[in-house]
């Protein structure tokens, strides 16, 4: 029988099908961070349990580590915010106590979990992987079955190495054709979400395929899978090909020698069969995708940079009209306003969606030899990990950013969710390379516009949105 990639991964990890329709799925890897793990460890301790398989786990603090050099120099004790400091310290203590590998705050390998996993080869094709964070879908770019889970599930996986799941349906997003220059993976996924809506993928495992996906780098594929959750899908997937193998080879946690050859033979089977059937198929023409900018408070409220904020008459129904009205009010925008007329207060380049080396190169190429607009209060560049930061510095990207007037920070989630000091003020507009533009996400009353790294850098220079293709 012809199988989808999701079917294959599911079958390979099925420990037991239960009568009530749920299944025990074996989990190969768990990534841990400081926010969703403390009560899970506490639960283990209370019940007198040990982690089922220690080596399955890898931890790093990311959500509320500070990103200024001043606070970071001292390590954990330098974190000024007490709640943050306690959470980071608790992760250290728990990992030490149970013997879990952790990249601590000042380890060069520390960073956002979804950047660190792939970078270390801790994310491998054919794996099942969980993390107490909804953007775990990122790892699906490696033909891995990756789920975001809650704290009780974190504990469940720690203790049993299994997750209780129901099988999802199969959705194929087929993107064919060539992207225009200046259009990126971020624009593809924003266009997909604009097309199918934030609930379009609910209940599905969402596989991305087609010539436009095949020609993306691994980093681009991660950006796409990262935001599958923003289209409602808990799981995003891309089949394994030579690009995947080339990326994984030689990474610290990747198999070596004989194991590598064996792995490659297996991994090459990890794609949907040619005649596999999907429950739903959505097709997009890559050549028609333009640089995207979100205007509202949900990632589906997105248009091309050449476009305008929608007129309310264009709403499909009353519900949409109402949510558009509310979004416009929150965002302080007028119907029909040109996207390029939106003035910005801050720019954020970072997050697990767009903080890898290629993202920084893309932004630096735009920023090079230019200056951040004087009207901006702040333009932040926050690399996704210590290693990304090192690499960027070796390439001189930090200098390009600093000379252009950007701040160059230490790795972490930062202004993506504003759990640390990096946040928007009330009413401020921000061009952000992150993944969520919900109300208050980047700070109380803050107004987020989701864009690609190149678009964010161009907006920082201009002080308002501009078409990066004309830059």
Partner 1 sequence: MQKFTQVNGLVAPLDRANVDTDLIIPKQFLKSIKRTGFGPNLFDELRYLDEGYPGQDASKRPLNPDFVLNQPRYQGSEILLSRKNFGCGSSREHAPWALVDYGFRAVIAPSFADIFFNNAPKNGLLLIKLDEAVIDRLFQEVEANEGYRLAIDLPAQTVTTPSGEVLSFEVDPFRKHCLIEGLDDIGITLQDAEAIQAYEAKRSQVTPWIFS
Query: Contact residues for partner 1 (CB under 8 A)?
Result: 12, 15-16, 24, 26, 28-29, 38-39, 42-43, 46-47, 49, 52-53, 55, 83, 86-87, 90, 124, 126-127, 152, 155-156, 159-162, 164, 254-255, 259, 262-263, 266
Residue with tokens 């200056």: 371
- Residue number, 148 or 210, with CB nearest to ligand SF4: 148
Nearest in space to 295 (alpha carbons), one of 453, 447, 428, 433: 447
Shortest Å distance, C-beta 292 to ligand SF4: 18
| Residue 47: Cβ within 10 Å count | 10
Nearest in space to 178 (alpha carbons), one of 285, 269, 94, 88: 285
327 CB contacts (<8 Å, ≥6 apart)?
295, 296, 297, 298, 301
Structure tokens at 105: 């705050």
Shortest Å distance, C-beta 84 to partner 1: 11
Shortest Å distance, C-beta 234 to partner 1: 19
First to last CA, the chain: 50
Q: Which of 9, 25, 79, 352 binds ligand SF4 (CB under 6 A)?
A: 352
Q: Which of 372, 416, 424, 468 binds ligand SF4 (CB under 6 A)?
A: 416
**Cβ 276 vs Cβ 1: under 8 Å:** no
Binding span for ligand SF4 by CB under 6 A among 21-29, 161-169, 364-372, 413-421:
413-421
Interaction of residue 417 with ligand SF4, rule CB under 6 A: yes
Binding span for ligand SF4 by CB under 6 A among 176-184, 231-239, 390-398, 412-420:
412-420
Partner from ligand SF4, partner 1, none contacting 156, C-beta within 5 to 8 A by type: partner 1
Rounded to a whole number of angstroms, the CA Rg of the chain reads 21
Would you call 132 helix, strand, or coil by DSSP?
coil
Q: Which of 4, 292, 351, 420 binds ligand SF4 (CB under 6 A)?
A: 351
Shortest Å distance, C-beta 41 to partner 1: 9
# chain residues binding ligand SF4, by CB under 6 A: 13
Per-residue binder mask for ligand SF4 (CB under 6 A), 135-164, x = binder? x-----------------------------
d(CA 320, CA 415) in angstroms, rounded, equals 29
81 CB contacts (<8 Å, ≥6 apart)?
64, 66, 420, 421
d(CA 282, CA 173) in angstroms, rounded, equals 5
Per-residue binder mask for ligand SF4 (CB under 6 A), 91-120, x = binder? ---------------------x-x------
Helices (H), 161-228: 185-196, 211-214, 218-226
Partner from partner 1, ligand SF4, none contacting 133, C-beta within 5 to 8 A by type: ligand SF4
Phi, psi of 15 (to 5 degrees): -85, -40
| Interacting residue ranges for ligand SF4, rule: CB under 6 A | 62-63, 112, 114, 133, 135, 351-352, 413, 416-417, 434-435
């Amino acid at each position: 029988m012809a199988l989808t990639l999701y079917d294959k991964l599911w079958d390979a990890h099925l420990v037991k099908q239960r009568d009530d329709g749920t299944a025990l799925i074996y989990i190969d890897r768990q990534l841990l961070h400081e926010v969703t793990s403390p009560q899970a460890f506490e639960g283990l301790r209370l019940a007198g349990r040990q982690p089922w398989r220690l080596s399955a786990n890898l931890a790093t603090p990311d959500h509320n580590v500070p990103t200024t050099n001043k606070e970071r120099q001292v390590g954990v004790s330098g974190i000024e915010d007490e709640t943050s400091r306690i959470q980071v310290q608790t992760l250290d203590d728990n990992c030490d106590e149970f013997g879990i590998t952790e990249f601590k705050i000042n380890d060069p390998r520390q960073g956002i979990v979804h950047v660190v996993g792939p970078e270390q080869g801790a994310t491998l094709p054919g794996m099942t992987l969980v993390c107490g964070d909804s953007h775990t879908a990122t790892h699906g770019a490696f033909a891995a079955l990756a789920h975001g889970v809650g704290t009780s599930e974190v504990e469940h996986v720690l203790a049993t190495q299994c997750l209780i799941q129901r099988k999802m349906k199969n959705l194929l997003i087929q993107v064919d054709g060539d992207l225009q220059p200046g259009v990126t993976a971020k624009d593809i996924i924003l266009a997909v979400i604009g097309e199918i809506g934030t609930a379009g993928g609910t209940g599905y495992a969402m596989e991305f395929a087609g010539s436009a996906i095949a020609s993306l780098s691994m980093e681009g594929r991660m950006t796409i899978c990262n935001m599958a959750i923003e289209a409602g899908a808990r799981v995003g997937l891309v089949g394994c090909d030579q690009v995947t193998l080339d990326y994984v080879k030689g990474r610290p946690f990747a198999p070596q020698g004989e194991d590598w050859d064996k792995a490659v033979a297996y991994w090459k089977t990890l794609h949907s069969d040619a005649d596999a059937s999907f429950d739903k198929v959505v097709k997009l023409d890559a050549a028609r995708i333009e640089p995207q900018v979100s205007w509202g408070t949900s990632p589906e409220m997105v248009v091309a940079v050449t476009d305008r904020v929608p007129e309310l008459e264009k709403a499909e129904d009353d519900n949409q009209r109402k949510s558009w009205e509310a979004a416009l009010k929150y965002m302080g925008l007028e119907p029909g306003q040109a996207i390029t007329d939106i003035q910005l207060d801050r720019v954020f380049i970072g997050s697990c969606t767009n903080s890898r080396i290629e993202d920084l190169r893309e932004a630096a190429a735009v920023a090079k030899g230019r200056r951040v607009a004087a009207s901006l209060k702040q333009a932040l560049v926050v690399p996704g990990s210590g290693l990304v930061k090192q690499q960027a510095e070796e390439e001189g990207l930090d200098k390009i950013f600093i000379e252009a007037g950007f701040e160059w920070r230490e790795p972490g989630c930062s202004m993506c969710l504003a759990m640390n000091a990096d946040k928007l003020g009330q009413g401020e507009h921000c061009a952000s390379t992150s993944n969520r533009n919900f109300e208050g996400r980047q700070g109380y009353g803050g107004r987020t516009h989701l864009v690609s790294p190149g678009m964010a850098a161009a907006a920082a220079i201009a002080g308002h949105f501009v078409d990066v293709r004309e830059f």
